[in-house]
Amino acid sequence: MSATRIFSGIQPTGDLHLGNYFGAVRNWVALQEGAADTIYCVVDYHAITGGIDADVLPERALQLAGDLVACGIDPERSILFVQSHVPEHTELAWVFNAFAAFGDLSRMTQFKDKSGRAKHVSSGLFTYPVLQAADILLYLSDGVPVGEDQSQHLELTRSIARRFNQVVGEDYFPDVQTLLTEGKRIMSLADPERKMSKSLGDKHYVGLMEPPKRIAKKIRSAVTDAGGEARDELSPGVANLVGLLRLAGEHAAADQYAEEAKRGDLLYGHLKVAVADAVVAMLEPFQERRAQLSNADLRDLLADGASRASAIAKPVMEDVRRLIGVGARSINR
Ligand code: TYM
C-alpha cells in the first residue's frame, strides 16, 4: 500500500552531505511529485542530545533549511519547519516514553555507537528514538523516507504505535513504512567500511555546498585498493565510488568502470575524475539556488511551515491526551 502522508527529519549538526542526499533528501524531493502530503523537519531537539551550543544551533537550523530548499524541497508543496517550533513533538515524546520498551531501546545500535564516542552520555541520547517516533506519529504519517541507518528506529516507531493502539483500544496510529532508496547506505570516502557521516570528520564526506575544487580533492583522495588484479567483487572503496557515479546519473560509465575494475585494468584516477565531475555537475544547480536564498525569506517560510505543521499536530495531541486521560479537557469532562 502506498503512503498517504510522508514525514522525515534531519539533524542540524553540520553540513548536508552526499549520504544524506542520496539516502534521504533526493527521495524527499521525488515524493513531492506523488499524491501523499510531504512534511520535512529540521530536528533541533534531537541535535541537543549530543551537546548544547546555543550560539550556533539556530544558525545551523536556518542554514540546513536553506540547503534543503536549494536541493529541491518546495515549501509550497511540502511543509518544511523546525521541530522546536511545534512543541507538541516533545509532549508526545513524553507520552511515548510510557509505551516504548526499555529492552527495545537498549538494543538500538545508533545509541551504542554514539554513546561509545560521547564524553557525556545523556539520557536523551538513549530516548532519542522515542522522540523520533513522536515526530512521525504526531502527523499520523505512514511513510518515512530515510537511509538504512534509521531502519531500526522505525521498527521501534511501529512497536510504539502498536502498543499505544492496543492499550487505548483504538486503531489510532498507522503502521509506518520505511522508504529506502538505491543510495540507502553511502560509505565514507576515507574509510569505506563505515557509512559516510559528518561526525567522522571532514575528509570522510562530501558536503553538498562545498566548493567544486574541494569536492574534487576529497574524491581524488578517496581510499580504494591497490588495483591491478582481477576480482569477483569490487572492494568497498571502489564499489562506493562506482555507486556514487551511478547515483549521479552516469549509469553506463559506472557499469564500464565496474567491469574494468573486476578485470583488474581500471586506472582508479580515471574513475575518481569521472565521479568528481559528475558530482560537481549534479551539485551546481543546488549551489546556484542556495546563493539566491536570503535568511529573511527562509525565516518567513519556516514560520509558515511551523503554523501549517501545528494545525495538524494540535488536534492529534488533543486526541492523545483524551485517549490516555490527561490534560484539562479530560479532567473537565
Ligand atoms: P540524520 O540527521 O543523521 O540523517 C538524515 C538522513 O540522512 C540519512 N543518511 C544516510 N543515508 C545513506 N547513507 C549515509 N551515509 C547516510 N547518512 C545519513 C539518514 O538515514 C537520514 O534519513 N534520527 C534521524 C533524524 C530524525 C528523523 C525523524 C528521521 C529525527 N526524527 C523522523 C525520520 C523521521 C537522524 O539522525 O538523521
The enclosing H or E element of 157 equals helix 151-168
What does pLDDT average to over the chain? 96
Q: What is the largest CA-CA distance in the chain?
A: 77
**Closest listed residue to residue 301, CA positions, set 90, 54, 40:** 40
The 10s digit of each residue's pLDDT in 192-251 is: 999 999 989 999 999 999 999 999 999 999 999 888 889 999 999 999 999 999 999 999
User: Probe ligand 1: pick from 7, 20, 153, max atoms within 8 Å of CB?
Assistant: 20
Indicate whether 63 and 178 sit together in one domain: yes
Mean pLDDT of 57-65: 98
* Grid cell locating 69: 530548499
The CATH number that applies at residue 48 is: 3.40.50.620
In a domain, 252, yes or no: yes
Indicate whether 264 and 123 sit together in one domain: no
In a domain, 193, yes or no: no
Q: Is 224 in the pocket of ligand 1 (CB under 6 A)?
A: no
The yes-or-no verdict on residue 84 having pLDDT over 80 is yes
Cα 12 from Cα 23, distance rounded (Å): 16
Reported pTM: 0.97
The CATH number that applies at residue 274 is: 1.10.240.10
Indicate whether 234 and 304 sit together in one domain: no
Indicate whether 44 and 158 sit together in one domain: yes
The 10s digit of each residue's pLDDT in 153-170 is: 999 999 999 999 999 999
Give the domain extent around 139: 5-186+294-332
Residue with cell 568497498: 236
Residue with cell 567491469: 259
Indicate whether 131 and 212 sit together in one domain: no
The 10s digit of each residue's pLDDT in 86-140 is: 999 999 999 999 999 999 999 999 999 888 888 899 999 999 999 999 999 999 9
Cβ 145 vs Cβ 27: under 8 Å: yes
User: Probe ligand 1: pick from 146, 176, 177, 185, max atoms within 8 Å of CB?
Assistant: 146
Atom of ligand 1 nearest to the CA of 10: 2
Indicate whether 271 and 305 sit together in one domain: no
In a domain, 191, yes or no: no
Task: List CB contacts of 117: < 8 A, sequence separation 6 or more.
Answer: 199
In a domain, 22, yes or no: yes
Grouping H, G, I as helix, E, B as strand and the rest as coil, residue 16 is coil
The pLDDT value given to residue 226 = 82
The pLDDT value given to residue 20 = 98
What total number of domains does the chain contain? 2
Indicate whether 163 and 205 sit together in one domain: no
In a domain, 74, yes or no: yes
**CB-count burial class (<10 Å; 0-12, 13-18, 19+) for 203:** middle
Atom of ligand 1 nearest to the CA of 146: 22
Angle at 195 between CA 189 and CA 197, to 5 degrees: 80
Indicate whether 93 and 33 sit together in one domain: yes
Indicate whether 235 and 283 sit together in one domain: yes
In a domain, 192, yes or no: no
Indicate whether 147 and 27 sit together in one domain: yes
Indicate whether 21 and 126 sit together in one domain: yes
In a domain, 91, yes or no: yes
In a domain, 36, yes or no: yes
Look at ligand 1, atom 37, and give the residue with the nearest C-alpha. Answer: 10
Cβ 249 vs Cβ 278: under 8 Å: yes
| Distance from Cα 271 to the centre of ligand 1, integer Å | 28
Indicate whether 203 and 176 sit together in one domain: no
